[in-house]
Structure 1
């Protein structure tokens, strides 16, 4: 797909930073919708959802405006990738961002070159997924179903609350089957570099919690020390 087929929403209350982000992404050929606050962005989303959202955390008087926006996006029946940009870099803020479905959490001041690469890699995941043979995505794990073209997974018939990136990571377990080690490199490559090595554990934690919302006793994704993770239908 060409960049012109993608629509990116940017929410940033600083007009200079907003203009800089819009210009940089438009120069790459993306369609960009710019918003200075959360309410105007949410109003636009009600009419048409973007392919990707890039948002600051503090939006005007709303200290957690970006987080509230992410909560709103979770109400839609499809995963919308989010990249947070923020000066707030506490472990709690970063964890909260990922827990609300963020694909990435980048510090300000940002590197435009890094942001553009991450955007392109992320959107490449969503476009390439449609070209994959669905037989290659069939789950080998009992009671776990994948719907690749929708980036959705179902556990015991119930939808798992996952981002597109987390779906790609879970797919590695599902297609490999029980007992096979999914290495850290494989998990990172499955997201085409969107997920950093040091945030894989956070995403795995979110995946586990998504399962636990359906079956609280879930304990099938096990850490393989120094190697990665595996799906094991047994107690650790």
Structure 2
């Protein structure tokens, strides 16, 4: 097995045990006890990882939040959650994020090894379906595409209209580069029209107010050429 597994477990004894056992079974394991270092390693060595094994309950950033960050970097990577949580809502959260499997603690470590082997075998060289997240971080704001909300760093929640949500998503998928006004009008409204352009100006003004408290996200004008949705990850 050549692809590495990014393994994140904050319990030292359990993490060490799982890493050592899986390595005896031929897996290449990178183990981290916190999400921050794990995400840093993933960003620096994205292509070397073929699967993520994530504990859900961790300090600072949960396994769910880490998964959201990871699929924004490499959307076709499979991942498995390990958790002591048994509530249906937590399982659904994991599956909604696109989890390949969701394993409750305590678990049989031989069964875990077999599942990981099968997942790597199935996904090796294959293109997984694109993951559509219900929510994801844009800089330091949280966008929820199902509830049509934006949560800013000061914890305020702004409700979006469908059109505003479409704009947010279009800007995000074209972040940090110039987007022509005409392109936005055709993409969102279906045509380039003067009066629709005036309507777009109103939507832009409202979006700026919504993200005003963000230190990592801004929407700037490029005079006569469109806009740039600036996002600092």
Partner of 1:59: 58
Partner of 2:231: none
Distance in 1, Cα, partners of 2:77 & 2:18: 19
Matched, 1:30 2:7: no
Partner of 1:100: 97
Distance 1:55 1:161, change over 3 A: closer
Partner of 1:44: 41
Distance in 2, Cα, partners of 1:75 & 1:39: 15
Partner of 1:21: 18
Contact 1:78 1:150 in 2 (8 A): no
Distance 1:34 1:77, change over 3 A: closer
Matched, 1:110 2:80: no
Deviation at 1:61, TM superposition (A): 4.8
Deviation at 1:162, TM superposition (A): 6.1
Could you tell me which runs of 5 or more consecutive residues in structure 1 were left unpaired when the two chains were aligned.
131-148, 153-159, 164-212, 214-236
Cα shift readout 1:147-183 (whole Å, capped 9, x = no counterpart)? xx4335xxxxxxx4369xxxxxxxxxxxxxxxxxxxx
Could you tell me which runs of 5 or more consecutive residues in structure 2 were left unpaired when the two chains were aligned.
134-168, 170-233
Distance 1:150 1:162, change over 3 A: farther
Deviation at 1:77, TM superposition (A): 4.1
2:120 is paired with a residue of what secondary structure?
A: helix
Partner of 1:150: 127
Matched, 1:8 2:5: yes
Pairing of 1:127-206 with structure 2 (within 5 A):
127=124, 130=125, 149-152=126-129, 160-161=130-131
How large is the Cα RMSD of the aligned pairs? 2.0
Pairing of 1:191-230 with structure 2 (within 5 A):
none
Partner of 1:227: none
Partner of 2:83: 86
Deviation at 1:124, TM superposition (A): 0.7
Distance 1:29 1:77, change over 3 A: closer
Distance in 2, Cα, partners of 1:90 & 1:103: 18
1:74 is paired with a residue of what secondary structure?
A: helix
Distance in 1, Cα, partners of 2:128 & 2:76: 7
Cα shift readout 1:26-70 (whole Å, capped 9, x = no counterpart)? 0011111010000000000111121111111111354xx100011
| TM-score normalized by the length of structure 2 | 0.53
Distance in 2, Cα, partners of 1:52 & 1:68: 16
Cα shift readout 1:13-37 (whole Å, capped 9, x = no counterpart)? 1000000110111001111101000
